Amino acid sequence: MGLTKIFALLNVWFRERDGSTIVATQEDFTEALKLWNKISESQEYNLPPYVYDLYKDIIVPAYDEKNLYGLAEDKAGVTRKEILKKHYQVYGRMLQDWQMRQQIIPMLETAGLISQDADPDDKRQILITPTNHLTVLAEKDIVSESGG
């Protein structure tokens, strides 16, 4: 509802008025749904979209690559160094180590998307493991009414 109101207010000069009330249109609602579809997953986890995208685009693929896409018997988590390397490969820029340690990793752990454990081979090193794998739906896979 809030996003629909925002779109109606953004287009106030092109919307019908009923006294001092602005009437939202189906177009406002449609645009609000498009925007909500882009940010809804991250909002469900109470994360900024950038942090959630980093999880989907960096941490999960790095974990899958290290574990041969689920074929390995012993699952090994990824190190922070491997995450930083994967971030550079995907985005073409470095991620600050302090930002990942102090901001991003704690947010993802609080949301329940990752867990941190000590490396059994080197207790000084922390391994990051996704707690659940993503099931990201494409727009064509949405089964709810009116694509909402």
Q: What pLDDT does 101 receive?
A: 92
Q: What pLDDT does 72 receive?
A: 55
Domain limits of the chain?
Answer: 2-44, 49-130
Concatenating the DSSP letter of every residue in the chain gives -HHHHHHHHHTGGGS-EETTEEPP-HHHHHHHHHHHHHHHHHHHTT--HHHHHHIIIIIHHHHHHHTGGGT-SS--PBPHHHHHHHHHHHHSSPPPHHHIIIIIHHHHHHTTSEEEEE-SS-TTSEEEEESS---PPPGGG--SGGG-
For residues 8-35, give the mean pLDDT: 86
pLDDT, greater one: 85 or 41: 85
For residues 44-64, give the mean pLDDT: 91
d(CA 3, CA 91) in angstroms, rounded, equals 30
Give the side-chain half-sphere CA count within 13 A for 85: 10
- Quick check: 140 pLDDT over 60? no
CATH of span 49-130: 1.10.10
